[in-house]
Chains A and B, each alone.
Chain A
Amino acid sequence: MIKVRDLRKVFRVHRKEPGLAASVRSLFRRNWVDKVAVTGSTFDVNEGEIVGLIGANGAGKTTLVKMLSGIIHPTSGEAEVLGHVPWHRNDDFRRQIALVMGQKAQMWWDLPGADCFELLREIYQIPRDQYRKSLERLSSMLGIGEEMTIQIRRLSLGERMKMELIAALLHSPRVVYLDEPTIGLDITTQRAVRDFLLDYRRENAPAMILTSHYMEDIERLCERIIIIRKGDIVYDGSLERVIHEYAPYKQLRLNIHRASTLQPDSEVLEKMGQVVECTPGSICLRVSRAKVPEVAAELLRKYSVIDLSIEDPEIGDTIERIMAGRTGDSE
Protein backbone atom coordinates (compact mmCIF):
# COMPACT_ATOMS: atom_id res chain seq x y z
CA MET A 1 0.00 0.00 0.00
CA ILE A 2 2.86 2.37 0.78
CA LYS A 3 6.13 2.14 -1.13
CA VAL A 4 8.95 4.53 -0.35
CA ARG A 5 12.21 4.54 -2.30
CA ASP A 6 15.18 6.70 -1.39
CA LEU A 7 12.95 9.59 -0.31
CA ARG A 8 14.93 12.65 0.65
CA LYS A 9 14.02 16.12 1.86
CA VAL A 10 16.33 19.08 2.32
CA PHE A 11 15.00 22.34 3.71
CA ARG A 12 16.70 25.64 3.05
CA VAL A 13 16.54 27.60 6.27
CA HIS A 14 17.50 31.14 7.15
CA ARG A 15 20.04 31.19 9.96
CA LYS A 16 19.85 34.32 12.03
CA GLU A 17 22.35 35.29 14.68
CA PRO A 18 20.94 36.75 17.91
CA GLY A 19 20.93 40.47 18.61
CA LEU A 20 19.79 43.73 17.06
CA ALA A 21 22.86 44.16 14.81
CA ALA A 22 22.26 40.71 13.29
CA SER A 23 18.61 41.60 12.73
CA VAL A 24 19.61 44.76 10.88
CA ARG A 25 22.23 42.84 8.85
CA SER A 26 19.64 40.25 7.90
CA LEU A 27 17.55 42.97 6.26
CA PHE A 28 20.30 43.28 3.64
CA ARG A 29 21.94 39.87 3.54
CA ARG A 30 20.59 36.49 4.60
CA ASN A 31 22.51 33.48 5.66
CA TRP A 32 20.88 30.37 4.16
CA VAL A 33 21.81 26.84 5.11
CA ASP A 34 20.61 23.47 3.87
CA LYS A 35 19.09 21.27 6.53
CA VAL A 36 18.71 17.61 5.64
CA ALA A 37 15.47 16.43 7.25
CA VAL A 38 15.14 13.00 5.60
CA THR A 39 18.11 11.16 4.08
CA GLY A 40 17.02 8.66 1.47
CA SER A 41 14.35 6.58 3.25
CA THR A 42 13.26 3.26 1.76
CA PHE A 43 10.50 1.03 3.17
CA ASP A 44 7.10 -0.51 2.46
CA VAL A 45 3.92 -0.70 4.53
CA ASN A 46 1.25 -3.31 3.85
CA GLU A 47 -2.50 -3.40 4.33
CA GLY A 48 -3.56 -3.77 7.96
CA GLU A 49 -0.08 -3.03 9.25
CA ILE A 50 0.61 -0.41 11.93
CA VAL A 51 4.18 0.81 11.65
CA GLY A 52 5.67 2.88 14.44
CA LEU A 53 7.94 5.67 13.26
CA ILE A 54 10.28 6.42 16.12
CA GLY A 55 12.94 9.05 16.52
CA ALA A 56 14.07 11.93 18.66
CA ASN A 57 12.68 15.43 18.06
CA GLY A 58 13.90 16.68 14.69
CA ALA A 59 14.77 13.19 13.44
CA GLY A 60 12.57 13.65 10.35
CA LYS A 61 9.45 11.65 11.29
CA THR A 62 6.93 14.41 10.67
CA THR A 63 8.66 15.47 7.45
CA LEU A 64 8.35 11.89 6.20
CA VAL A 65 4.66 11.83 7.12
CA LYS A 66 4.11 15.19 5.41
CA MET A 67 5.65 13.85 2.20
CA LEU A 68 3.67 10.63 2.30
CA SER A 69 0.42 12.51 2.85
CA GLY A 70 1.23 14.83 -0.06
CA ILE A 71 1.52 18.02 1.96
CA ILE A 72 5.09 18.73 0.89
CA HIS A 73 7.23 17.76 -2.08
CA PRO A 74 10.42 15.75 -1.59
CA THR A 75 13.81 16.96 -2.77
CA SER A 76 14.39 13.60 -4.47
CA GLY A 77 13.26 9.99 -4.39
CA GLU A 78 9.99 8.23 -5.04
CA ALA A 79 6.90 7.24 -3.12
CA GLU A 80 3.70 5.52 -4.06
CA VAL A 81 0.67 5.36 -1.79
CA LEU A 82 -2.31 3.33 -3.03
CA GLY A 83 -0.78 3.55 -6.50
CA HIS A 84 -0.55 7.35 -6.43
CA VAL A 85 2.33 9.76 -6.05
CA PRO A 86 1.24 11.56 -2.87
CA TRP A 87 2.44 15.08 -3.74
CA HIS A 88 0.53 15.04 -7.04
CA ARG A 89 -2.51 15.26 -4.76
CA ASN A 90 -4.84 13.33 -6.96
CA ASP A 91 -8.41 13.58 -5.56
CA ASP A 92 -8.78 9.79 -5.65
CA PHE A 93 -5.67 9.52 -3.46
CA ARG A 94 -6.82 12.21 -1.03
CA ARG A 95 -10.21 10.51 -0.61
CA GLN A 96 -8.44 7.42 0.73
CA ILE A 97 -6.00 8.88 3.23
CA ALA A 98 -6.19 10.65 6.58
CA LEU A 99 -3.72 12.47 8.75
CA VAL A 100 -4.20 13.07 12.47
CA MET A 101 -1.87 15.48 14.16
CA GLY A 102 -1.77 15.53 17.92
CA GLN A 103 -0.05 18.90 18.02
CA LYS A 104 -2.21 20.76 15.53
CA ALA A 105 -5.97 21.17 15.53
CA GLN A 106 -7.31 20.47 12.07
CA MET A 107 -10.97 21.09 12.70
CA TRP A 108 -12.82 24.39 12.45
CA TRP A 109 -12.18 26.05 15.80
CA ASP A 110 -15.41 28.06 15.98
CA LEU A 111 -17.75 25.29 14.89
CA PRO A 112 -19.22 22.40 16.89
CA GLY A 113 -18.08 18.91 15.91
CA ALA A 114 -21.44 18.11 14.31
CA ASP A 115 -21.05 21.01 11.84
CA CYS A 116 -17.45 20.06 11.09
CA PHE A 117 -18.44 16.46 10.35
CA GLU A 118 -21.29 17.57 8.10
CA LEU A 119 -18.83 19.73 6.16
CA LEU A 120 -16.44 16.79 5.87
CA ARG A 121 -19.31 14.69 4.54
CA GLU A 122 -19.66 17.24 1.73
CA ILE A 123 -15.91 17.47 1.16
CA TYR A 124 -15.47 13.69 0.87
CA GLN A 125 -18.88 13.20 -0.79
CA ILE A 126 -19.80 10.46 1.70
CA PRO A 127 -23.30 9.06 1.00
CA ARG A 128 -25.66 10.15 3.78
CA ASP A 129 -26.48 6.66 4.95
CA GLN A 130 -22.83 5.61 5.14
CA TYR A 131 -21.98 8.90 6.89
CA ARG A 132 -24.65 8.40 9.54
CA LYS A 133 -23.54 4.84 10.26
CA SER A 134 -19.88 5.78 10.30
CA LEU A 135 -20.45 8.73 12.63
CA GLU A 136 -22.55 6.65 15.03
CA ARG A 137 -20.00 3.86 15.13
CA LEU A 138 -16.96 6.13 15.61
CA SER A 139 -18.62 8.31 18.26
CA SER A 140 -19.84 5.31 20.24
CA MET A 141 -16.38 3.72 20.07
CA LEU A 142 -14.86 6.93 21.47
CA GLY A 143 -17.69 7.72 23.88
CA ILE A 144 -18.63 11.02 22.26
CA GLY A 145 -22.18 12.23 22.85
CA GLU A 146 -23.34 15.76 23.61
CA GLU A 147 -19.79 17.10 23.04
CA MET A 148 -20.75 16.96 19.39
CA THR A 149 -22.80 20.15 19.74
CA ILE A 150 -20.13 22.18 21.56
CA GLN A 151 -17.70 24.49 19.72
CA ILE A 152 -14.37 22.72 19.22
CA ARG A 153 -12.44 25.47 20.98
CA ARG A 154 -14.47 24.92 24.15
CA LEU A 155 -13.65 21.20 24.41
CA SER A 156 -10.91 19.65 26.53
CA LEU A 157 -7.74 18.39 24.85
CA GLY A 158 -8.87 14.77 25.12
CA GLU A 159 -12.31 15.52 23.69
CA ARG A 160 -10.73 17.50 20.86
CA MET A 161 -8.45 14.60 19.98
CA LYS A 162 -11.42 12.25 19.89
CA MET A 163 -13.16 14.68 17.53
CA GLU A 164 -10.03 14.83 15.37
CA LEU A 165 -10.01 11.04 15.16
CA ILE A 166 -13.66 10.93 14.14
CA ALA A 167 -13.04 13.67 11.55
CA ALA A 168 -10.06 11.80 10.12
CA LEU A 169 -11.78 8.43 9.87
CA LEU A 170 -15.30 9.41 8.80
CA HIS A 171 -14.53 8.68 5.15
CA SER A 172 -13.04 5.25 6.01
CA PRO A 173 -9.51 5.94 4.74
CA ARG A 174 -7.32 3.04 3.61
CA VAL A 175 -4.14 4.77 4.75
CA VAL A 176 -3.94 6.60 8.07
CA TYR A 177 -1.04 8.70 9.31
CA LEU A 178 -1.04 9.39 13.03
CA ASP A 179 1.44 12.00 14.17
CA GLU A 180 1.67 11.83 17.97
CA PRO A 181 -2.04 11.19 18.48
CA THR A 182 -1.80 10.80 22.26
CA ILE A 183 0.46 13.74 23.05
CA GLY A 184 -0.65 15.67 26.13
CA LEU A 185 -3.56 13.34 26.90
CA ASP A 186 -4.20 11.85 30.33
CA ILE A 187 -3.56 8.14 30.84
CA THR A 188 -7.22 7.14 30.58
CA THR A 189 -7.71 9.02 27.32
CA GLN A 190 -4.43 7.68 25.93
CA ARG A 191 -5.68 4.18 26.64
CA ALA A 192 -9.07 4.94 25.06
CA VAL A 193 -7.37 6.26 21.92
CA ARG A 194 -5.12 3.19 21.68
CA ASP A 195 -8.07 0.81 22.13
CA PHE A 196 -9.99 2.75 19.53
CA LEU A 197 -7.15 2.54 17.00
CA LEU A 198 -6.83 -1.20 17.55
CA ASP A 199 -10.57 -1.69 17.09
CA TYR A 200 -10.50 0.48 13.99
CA ARG A 201 -7.65 -1.55 12.55
CA ARG A 202 -9.46 -4.81 13.28
CA GLU A 203 -12.57 -3.62 11.45
CA ASN A 204 -11.03 -1.74 8.52
CA ALA A 205 -7.47 -3.05 8.07
CA PRO A 206 -5.93 0.23 6.90
CA ALA A 207 -2.19 0.73 6.59
CA MET A 208 -1.16 2.97 9.46
CA ILE A 209 1.98 4.93 10.19
CA LEU A 210 2.22 6.15 13.75
CA THR A 211 4.75 8.52 15.24
CA SER A 212 4.90 8.81 19.00
CA HIS A 213 7.26 9.55 21.84
CA TYR A 214 5.25 7.31 24.15
CA MET A 215 6.61 3.76 24.25
CA GLU A 216 3.24 2.50 25.39
CA ASP A 217 1.71 3.65 22.09
CA ILE A 218 4.38 1.76 20.20
CA GLU A 219 4.21 -1.38 22.33
CA ARG A 220 0.40 -1.58 22.26
CA LEU A 221 -0.16 -0.67 18.64
CA CYS A 222 2.84 -1.62 16.50
CA GLU A 223 4.32 -4.97 15.60
CA ARG A 224 6.84 -3.25 13.40
CA ILE A 225 8.91 -0.16 14.01
CA ILE A 226 11.11 2.11 11.94
CA ILE A 227 13.71 4.02 13.91
CA ILE A 228 14.96 7.25 12.39
CA ARG A 229 18.10 9.03 13.48
CA LYS A 230 18.98 12.39 11.92
CA GLY A 231 16.83 11.65 8.88
CA ASP A 232 18.29 8.17 8.39
CA ILE A 233 16.45 4.88 8.92
CA VAL A 234 18.63 2.92 11.33
CA TYR A 235 16.22 0.09 12.07
CA ASP A 236 13.23 -1.37 10.25
CA GLY A 237 11.79 -4.56 11.66
CA SER A 238 9.65 -6.17 14.28
CA LEU A 239 9.42 -4.78 17.76
CA GLU A 240 10.54 -8.16 19.09
CA ARG A 241 13.60 -8.37 16.87
CA VAL A 242 14.89 -5.00 18.00
CA ILE A 243 15.58 -6.51 21.42
CA HIS A 244 17.47 -9.50 20.01
CA GLU A 245 19.39 -7.44 17.51
CA TYR A 246 20.29 -4.43 19.58
CA ALA A 247 20.22 -5.82 23.11
CA PRO A 248 21.86 -9.25 22.83
CA TYR A 249 21.82 -9.69 26.59
CA LYS A 250 19.41 -10.41 29.42
CA GLN A 251 19.31 -9.20 32.97
CA LEU A 252 19.59 -11.71 35.81
CA ARG A 253 18.23 -10.44 39.08
CA LEU A 254 18.77 -12.45 42.28
CA ASN A 255 17.71 -11.99 45.88
CA ILE A 256 19.99 -13.81 48.34
CA HIS A 257 19.45 -14.77 51.99
CA ARG A 258 21.01 -11.96 54.02
CA ALA A 259 21.90 -14.49 56.71
CA SER A 260 23.98 -16.48 54.23
CA THR A 261 27.71 -16.50 54.91
CA LEU A 262 28.59 -16.09 51.25
CA GLN A 263 27.57 -12.65 50.04
CA PRO A 264 28.10 -11.44 46.45
CA ASP A 265 31.49 -10.22 45.44
CA SER A 266 31.63 -7.94 42.41
CA GLU A 267 35.06 -9.21 41.33
CA VAL A 268 33.68 -12.74 41.02
CA LEU A 269 30.51 -11.55 39.31
CA GLU A 270 32.39 -9.50 36.71
CA LYS A 271 33.73 -12.74 35.28
CA MET A 272 30.17 -13.84 34.53
CA GLY A 273 28.81 -10.61 33.03
CA GLN A 274 28.35 -6.87 33.43
CA VAL A 275 27.49 -5.99 37.03
CA VAL A 276 24.54 -3.61 37.24
CA GLU A 277 23.97 -3.99 40.98
CA CYS A 278 25.87 -5.79 43.74
CA THR A 279 24.68 -5.19 47.31
CA PRO A 280 24.31 -7.53 50.28
CA GLY A 281 21.23 -9.61 49.48
CA SER A 282 20.84 -8.45 45.86
CA ILE A 283 22.55 -8.97 42.50
CA CYS A 284 21.74 -7.69 39.03
CA LEU A 285 23.90 -8.92 36.16
CA ARG A 286 23.77 -8.22 32.41
CA VAL A 287 24.70 -11.43 30.62
CA SER A 288 24.90 -12.28 26.91
CA ARG A 289 21.91 -14.38 25.81
CA ALA A 290 23.98 -17.45 25.01
CA LYS A 291 25.53 -17.57 28.48
CA VAL A 292 22.29 -17.09 30.45
CA PRO A 293 21.66 -20.81 31.38
CA GLU A 294 25.26 -21.38 32.37
CA VAL A 295 25.54 -18.19 34.49
CA ALA A 296 22.14 -18.77 36.11
CA ALA A 297 23.16 -22.31 37.09
CA GLU A 298 26.44 -21.11 38.54
CA LEU A 299 24.76 -18.36 40.59
CA LEU A 300 22.21 -20.85 41.94
CA ARG A 301 25.01 -23.18 42.92
CA LYS A 302 27.12 -20.50 44.54
CA TYR A 303 24.58 -18.49 46.53
CA SER A 304 21.63 -19.20 48.75
CA VAL A 305 19.05 -17.75 46.35
CA ILE A 306 15.54 -16.73 47.45
CA ASP A 307 14.40 -15.53 44.08
CA LEU A 308 15.80 -15.42 40.52
CA SER A 309 14.37 -13.54 37.54
CA ILE A 310 15.65 -13.41 33.96
CA GLU A 311 14.43 -10.35 32.05
CA ASP A 312 14.78 -8.81 28.65
CA PRO A 313 15.97 -5.20 28.88
CA GLU A 314 13.29 -2.49 28.67
CA ILE A 315 12.34 -2.01 25.03
CA GLY A 316 12.16 1.73 25.55
CA ASP A 317 15.76 1.75 26.80
CA THR A 318 16.90 -0.26 23.80
CA ILE A 319 15.17 2.05 21.35
CA GLU A 320 16.50 5.09 23.14
CA ARG A 321 20.01 3.65 22.83
CA ILE A 322 19.51 3.10 19.08
CA MET A 323 18.14 6.60 18.61
CA ALA A 324 21.13 8.00 20.42
CA GLY A 325 23.50 5.89 18.31
CA ARG A 326 24.60 3.69 21.25
CA THR A 327 23.96 0.15 20.10
CA GLY A 328 25.09 -3.35 21.09
CA ASP A 329 26.18 -4.49 24.52
CA SER A 330 29.60 -3.00 24.34
CA GLU A 331 28.88 -0.05 26.61
Chain B
Amino acid sequence: MSLSLFFHLVNLESRKLMSYRVDFWITMLVNLVVNLVVLWALWTAIFAESGAEIVGGWDLPGILAYGVMVFLTGRIVRGGDLQMTISTDIYDGALSRYLLYPRHYAITKYAQQVGNVMPDLFQSVLMGLVAIPVLGLSTTATVTPLSVAMVIPTILVAHLLFFLMSLIPQYIAFWADNVWSLSVLLRFVTMLLGGAMLPLSLFPDQVQQVLRWLPFVYLFEFPTLVVLGKVDFTQWYIGIGTCLLWCLVIGTLSVPVWRRGDLRYTGVGI
Protein backbone atom coordinates (compact mmCIF):
# COMPACT_ATOMS: atom_id res chain seq x y z
CA MET B 1 0.00 0.00 0.00
CA SER B 2 1.33 3.43 -0.92
CA LEU B 3 2.07 5.89 1.88
CA SER B 4 -0.24 8.47 0.31
CA LEU B 5 -3.16 6.01 0.47
CA PHE B 6 -2.24 5.08 4.04
CA PHE B 7 -2.33 8.70 5.17
CA HIS B 8 -5.43 9.39 3.10
CA LEU B 9 -7.23 6.63 5.03
CA VAL B 10 -5.88 7.94 8.35
CA ASN B 11 -7.04 11.44 7.46
CA LEU B 12 -10.53 10.36 6.37
CA GLU B 13 -11.10 8.19 9.41
CA SER B 14 -10.06 10.85 11.90
CA ARG B 15 -12.13 13.53 10.13
CA LYS B 16 -15.12 11.23 10.23
CA LEU B 17 -14.86 10.78 14.01
CA MET B 18 -14.14 14.41 14.78
CA SER B 19 -17.17 15.48 12.73
CA TYR B 20 -19.36 14.24 15.61
CA ARG B 21 -18.58 17.18 17.89
CA VAL B 22 -20.97 16.43 20.78
CA ASP B 23 -19.72 12.86 21.03
CA PHE B 24 -16.12 14.06 20.86
CA TRP B 25 -16.33 16.45 23.83
CA ILE B 26 -18.68 14.36 25.98
CA THR B 27 -16.46 11.28 25.62
CA MET B 28 -13.47 13.30 26.70
CA LEU B 29 -15.06 15.03 29.69
CA VAL B 30 -16.79 11.93 31.06
CA ASN B 31 -13.67 9.81 30.69
CA LEU B 32 -11.45 12.38 32.35
CA VAL B 33 -13.70 13.16 35.32
CA VAL B 34 -14.61 9.52 36.05
CA ASN B 35 -11.02 8.35 35.87
CA LEU B 36 -9.61 11.14 37.99
CA VAL B 37 -12.24 10.61 40.69
CA VAL B 38 -11.81 6.81 40.75
CA LEU B 39 -8.01 6.98 40.79
CA TRP B 40 -7.89 9.59 43.49
CA ALA B 41 -10.47 7.88 45.73
CA LEU B 42 -8.94 4.42 45.33
CA TRP B 43 -5.28 5.23 45.86
CA THR B 44 -5.85 7.81 48.60
CA ALA B 45 -7.78 5.16 50.53
CA ILE B 46 -5.10 2.50 49.94
CA PHE B 47 -2.27 4.77 51.07
CA ALA B 48 -4.26 6.00 54.11
CA GLU B 49 -5.16 2.45 55.12
CA SER B 50 -1.61 1.08 54.74
CA GLY B 51 0.02 4.07 56.41
CA ALA B 52 2.98 3.65 54.03
CA GLU B 53 4.54 6.48 52.03
CA ILE B 54 5.69 4.18 49.23
CA VAL B 55 3.68 1.24 47.81
CA GLY B 56 5.32 -1.03 45.22
CA GLY B 57 7.96 1.63 44.57
CA TRP B 58 5.43 4.44 44.08
CA ASP B 59 4.36 7.38 46.24
CA LEU B 60 0.77 8.64 46.06
CA PRO B 61 1.28 11.35 43.39
CA GLY B 62 3.47 8.93 41.45
CA ILE B 63 0.89 6.17 41.35
CA LEU B 64 -1.82 8.70 40.49
CA ALA B 65 0.40 9.90 37.62
CA TYR B 66 0.85 6.25 36.57
CA GLY B 67 -2.94 5.75 36.64
CA VAL B 68 -3.55 8.84 34.53
CA MET B 69 -0.76 8.10 32.07
CA VAL B 70 -1.66 4.46 31.60
CA PHE B 71 -5.22 5.55 30.95
CA LEU B 72 -4.16 8.21 28.42
CA THR B 73 -1.59 6.12 26.58
CA GLY B 74 -3.88 3.08 26.76
CA ARG B 75 -6.62 4.91 24.89
CA ILE B 76 -4.20 5.56 22.06
CA VAL B 77 -2.79 2.03 22.07
CA ARG B 78 -6.25 0.47 21.92
CA GLY B 79 -7.05 2.60 18.89
CA GLY B 80 -10.30 4.20 19.86
CA ASP B 81 -11.83 0.95 21.13
CA LEU B 82 -12.64 -0.09 17.59
CA GLN B 83 -10.96 -3.47 17.78
CA MET B 84 -14.11 -5.25 16.58
CA THR B 85 -14.28 -3.70 13.12
CA ILE B 86 -12.73 -6.68 11.35
CA SER B 87 -15.01 -9.24 12.97
CA THR B 88 -17.97 -6.98 12.19
CA ASP B 89 -16.86 -6.78 8.55
CA ILE B 90 -16.78 -10.59 8.42
CA TYR B 91 -20.11 -10.93 10.23
CA ASP B 92 -22.11 -8.48 8.13
CA GLY B 93 -20.36 -9.04 4.80
CA ALA B 94 -18.75 -5.59 4.61
CA LEU B 95 -15.46 -7.45 4.09
CA SER B 96 -16.56 -8.11 0.50
CA ARG B 97 -16.05 -4.46 -0.41
CA TYR B 98 -12.46 -4.53 0.83
CA LEU B 99 -11.72 -7.81 -0.95
CA LEU B 100 -12.58 -6.12 -4.24
CA TYR B 101 -10.07 -3.33 -3.75
CA PRO B 102 -6.53 -3.91 -5.01
CA ARG B 103 -5.15 -3.26 -1.55
CA HIS B 104 -4.16 -5.41 1.44
CA TYR B 105 -7.14 -5.73 3.77
CA ALA B 106 -5.27 -5.85 7.09
CA ILE B 107 -3.10 -2.85 6.19
CA THR B 108 -6.20 -0.91 5.12
CA LYS B 109 -7.82 -1.69 8.47
CA TYR B 110 -4.64 -0.69 10.26
CA ALA B 111 -4.64 2.67 8.49
CA GLN B 112 -8.25 3.15 9.57
CA GLN B 113 -7.31 2.14 13.11
CA VAL B 114 -4.53 4.75 13.14
CA GLY B 115 -7.10 7.28 11.92
CA ASN B 116 -9.33 6.28 14.80
CA VAL B 117 -6.53 7.05 17.21
CA MET B 118 -6.26 10.68 16.16
CA PRO B 119 -9.24 11.96 18.18
CA ASP B 120 -8.00 9.92 21.17
CA LEU B 121 -4.51 11.32 20.74
CA PHE B 122 -5.83 14.85 20.67
CA GLN B 123 -8.06 14.21 23.68
CA SER B 124 -5.29 12.46 25.60
CA VAL B 125 -2.93 15.40 25.17
CA LEU B 126 -5.64 17.81 26.36
CA MET B 127 -6.54 15.58 29.31
CA GLY B 128 -2.88 15.17 30.23
CA LEU B 129 -2.42 18.94 30.32
CA VAL B 130 -5.32 19.22 32.77
CA ALA B 131 -4.73 16.12 34.87
CA ILE B 132 -1.02 16.27 35.64
CA PRO B 133 -1.09 19.69 37.42
CA VAL B 134 -4.23 18.64 39.31
CA LEU B 135 -2.59 15.46 40.59
CA GLY B 136 0.58 17.22 41.67
CA LEU B 137 4.25 16.33 41.31
CA SER B 138 5.85 13.10 42.40
CA THR B 139 9.27 12.15 43.64
CA THR B 140 8.96 8.73 41.98
CA ALA B 141 7.82 9.76 38.49
CA THR B 142 8.58 12.77 36.31
CA VAL B 143 7.40 13.74 32.86
CA THR B 144 10.19 15.46 30.89
CA PRO B 145 10.49 16.63 27.25
CA LEU B 146 12.86 13.69 26.66
CA SER B 147 10.43 11.15 28.12
CA VAL B 148 7.65 12.62 25.97
CA ALA B 149 9.86 12.31 22.88
CA MET B 150 10.68 8.71 23.78
CA VAL B 151 7.06 7.74 24.38
CA ILE B 152 5.90 8.66 20.85
CA PRO B 153 7.62 5.76 19.02
CA THR B 154 6.86 3.52 22.02
CA ILE B 155 3.15 4.16 21.66
CA LEU B 156 3.35 3.64 17.89
CA VAL B 157 4.80 0.13 18.23
CA ALA B 158 2.45 -0.66 21.15
CA HIS B 159 -0.49 0.37 18.97
CA LEU B 160 0.72 -1.86 16.16
CA LEU B 161 1.17 -4.75 18.61
CA PHE B 162 -2.34 -4.31 19.98
CA PHE B 163 -3.79 -4.23 16.46
CA LEU B 164 -1.93 -7.42 15.52
CA MET B 165 -2.93 -9.14 18.77
CA SER B 166 -6.56 -8.43 18.04
CA LEU B 167 -6.37 -9.94 14.51
CA ILE B 168 -6.57 -13.64 15.40
CA PRO B 169 -9.52 -13.28 17.83
CA GLN B 170 -11.30 -11.24 15.17
CA TYR B 171 -10.57 -13.74 12.40
CA ILE B 172 -12.34 -16.33 14.57
CA ALA B 173 -15.51 -14.62 13.25
CA PHE B 174 -14.98 -16.65 10.04
CA TRP B 175 -15.95 -19.70 12.11
CA ALA B 176 -17.99 -18.32 15.00
CA ASP B 177 -19.74 -15.27 13.50
CA ASN B 178 -19.99 -13.41 16.77
CA VAL B 179 -16.74 -12.89 18.68
CA TRP B 180 -17.80 -10.10 20.98
CA SER B 181 -16.95 -12.20 24.05
CA LEU B 182 -13.46 -12.90 22.69
CA SER B 183 -12.94 -9.21 22.14
CA VAL B 184 -13.98 -8.43 25.71
CA LEU B 185 -11.72 -11.23 26.97
CA LEU B 186 -8.78 -9.89 24.98
CA ARG B 187 -9.34 -6.43 26.33
CA PHE B 188 -9.62 -7.65 29.94
CA VAL B 189 -6.56 -9.92 29.72
CA THR B 190 -4.38 -7.35 27.98
CA MET B 191 -5.36 -4.64 30.44
CA LEU B 192 -4.78 -6.82 33.51
CA LEU B 193 -1.54 -8.45 32.36
CA GLY B 194 -0.33 -5.33 30.59
CA GLY B 195 -0.47 -3.14 33.70
CA ALA B 196 -3.42 -0.97 32.68
CA MET B 197 -5.30 -1.74 35.88
CA LEU B 198 -2.38 -1.87 38.32
CA PRO B 199 1.36 -1.32 37.95
CA LEU B 200 2.95 -4.74 37.46
CA SER B 201 5.33 -3.96 40.34
CA LEU B 202 2.38 -4.62 42.66
CA PHE B 203 2.07 -8.21 41.40
CA PRO B 204 3.94 -11.06 43.18
CA ASP B 205 7.57 -11.43 42.03
CA GLN B 206 7.04 -14.78 40.27
CA VAL B 207 4.08 -13.42 38.30
CA GLN B 208 6.15 -10.39 37.34
CA GLN B 209 8.93 -12.68 36.08
CA VAL B 210 6.47 -14.54 33.83
CA LEU B 211 4.81 -11.36 32.59
CA ARG B 212 8.16 -9.92 31.49
CA TRP B 213 8.32 -12.72 28.88
CA LEU B 214 4.86 -11.98 27.48
CA PRO B 215 3.86 -9.24 25.01
CA PHE B 216 1.19 -7.62 27.22
CA VAL B 217 3.64 -5.50 29.19
CA TYR B 218 4.57 -3.58 26.01
CA LEU B 219 0.99 -2.47 25.46
CA PHE B 220 0.36 -0.38 28.56
CA GLU B 221 2.98 -0.50 31.28
CA PHE B 222 6.05 0.01 29.12
CA PRO B 223 4.81 3.21 27.37
CA THR B 224 3.64 4.55 30.74
CA LEU B 225 6.98 3.92 32.41
CA VAL B 226 8.70 5.57 29.45
CA VAL B 227 6.65 8.77 29.71
CA LEU B 228 7.13 8.86 33.48
CA GLY B 229 10.90 8.77 33.00
CA LYS B 230 11.37 5.33 34.58
CA VAL B 231 13.05 3.71 31.58
CA ASP B 232 16.65 4.44 30.58
CA PHE B 233 17.92 4.40 26.98
CA THR B 234 19.18 0.82 27.04
CA GLN B 235 15.92 -0.49 28.48
CA TRP B 236 14.03 1.58 25.93
CA TYR B 237 15.91 0.15 22.91
CA ILE B 238 15.47 -3.39 24.19
CA GLY B 239 11.79 -2.75 24.94
CA ILE B 240 11.08 -1.34 21.48
CA GLY B 241 13.01 -4.18 19.82
CA THR B 242 11.17 -6.84 21.83
CA CYS B 243 7.84 -5.23 21.05
CA LEU B 244 8.64 -5.25 17.32
CA LEU B 245 9.68 -8.89 17.60
CA TRP B 246 6.32 -9.72 19.17
CA CYS B 247 4.64 -7.81 16.31
CA LEU B 248 6.48 -10.01 13.84
CA VAL B 249 5.60 -13.25 15.65
CA ILE B 250 1.92 -12.40 16.15
CA GLY B 251 1.54 -10.93 12.65
CA THR B 252 3.05 -14.10 11.15
CA LEU B 253 0.73 -16.30 13.21
CA SER B 254 -2.29 -14.39 11.96
CA VAL B 255 -1.55 -15.15 8.28
CA PRO B 256 -2.55 -18.86 8.22
CA VAL B 257 -5.62 -18.08 10.33
CA TRP B 258 -6.72 -15.50 7.74
CA ARG B 259 -6.07 -17.95 4.88
CA ARG B 260 -8.12 -20.72 6.50
CA GLY B 261 -10.89 -18.31 7.44
CA ASP B 262 -10.99 -16.73 3.99
CA LEU B 263 -11.87 -20.12 2.50
CA ARG B 264 -14.96 -20.19 4.72
CA TYR B 265 -16.08 -16.63 4.00
CA THR B 266 -19.57 -16.53 2.51
CA GLY B 267 -20.09 -12.79 2.10
CA VAL B 268 -23.42 -13.11 3.89
CA GLY B 269 -25.33 -9.88 3.99
CA ILE B 270 -24.78 -8.98 0.38
Please state if A115 and B12 are interface contacts (CB–CB under 8 Å): yes
Contact A70:B99 (CB < 8 A) given known A62-B270, A108-B12, A111-B12: yes
Total A-B Cβ pairs within 8 A: 61
In the complex the two chains form, what is the Cα distance from A71 to B100 in whole Å?
7
In the complex the two chains form, what is the Cα distance from A98 to B9 in whole Å?
21
Please state if B97 and A106 are interface contacts (CB–CB under 8 Å): yes
Please state if A95 and B102 are interface contacts (CB–CB under 8 Å): yes
Q: Which of B243-270 contact A (CB under 8 A)?
A: 262-263, 265-267, 269-270
Please state if A69 and B100 are interface contacts (CB–CB under 8 Å): yes
Question: B5 — which chain A residues lie within 8 A by C-beta?
Answer: 122-123
The yes or no answer to B2 lying at the interface (CB within 8 A) is: yes
Residue of B16, B99, B103 most packed against chain A (CB within 10 A): B99
Please state if B267 and A70 are interface contacts (CB–CB under 8 Å): no
Please state if A123 and B103 are interface contacts (CB–CB under 8 Å): yes
The yes or no answer to B212 lying at the interface (CB within 8 A) is: no
The yes or no answer to A11 lying at the interface (CB within 8 A) is: yes
The yes or no answer to A146 lying at the interface (CB within 8 A) is: no
The yes or no answer to A73 lying at the interface (CB within 8 A) is: yes
In the complex the two chains form, what is the Cα distance from A111 to B16 in whole Å?
7
Among residues of A, the one whose C-beta sits closest to the C-beta of B96 is: A71
Please state if A72 and B2 are interface contacts (CB–CB under 8 Å): no
The yes or no answer to A283 lying at the interface (CB within 8 A) is: no
The yes or no answer to B213 lying at the interface (CB within 8 A) is: no
Question: B239 — which chain A residues lie within 8 A by C-beta?
Answer: none
Residue of A62, A91, A101, A123 most packed against chain B (CB within 10 A): A123
* Residues on B facing A (Cβ under 8 Å): 2, 4-5, 8-9, 12, 16, 19, 93, 96-97, 99-103, 262-263, 265-267, 269-270
Q: What are 7 A-to-B residue pairs whose CB atoms are below 8 Å?
A: A66-B267, A72-B266, A94-B100, A97-B100, A111-B12, A111-B16, A119-B9
Q: Rank and list the top 9 A-B pairs by shortest CB-CB distance, nearest first.
A: A94-B102, A91-B102, A122-B5, A104-B270, A71-B96, A106-B97, A122-B8, A95-B102, A71-B267
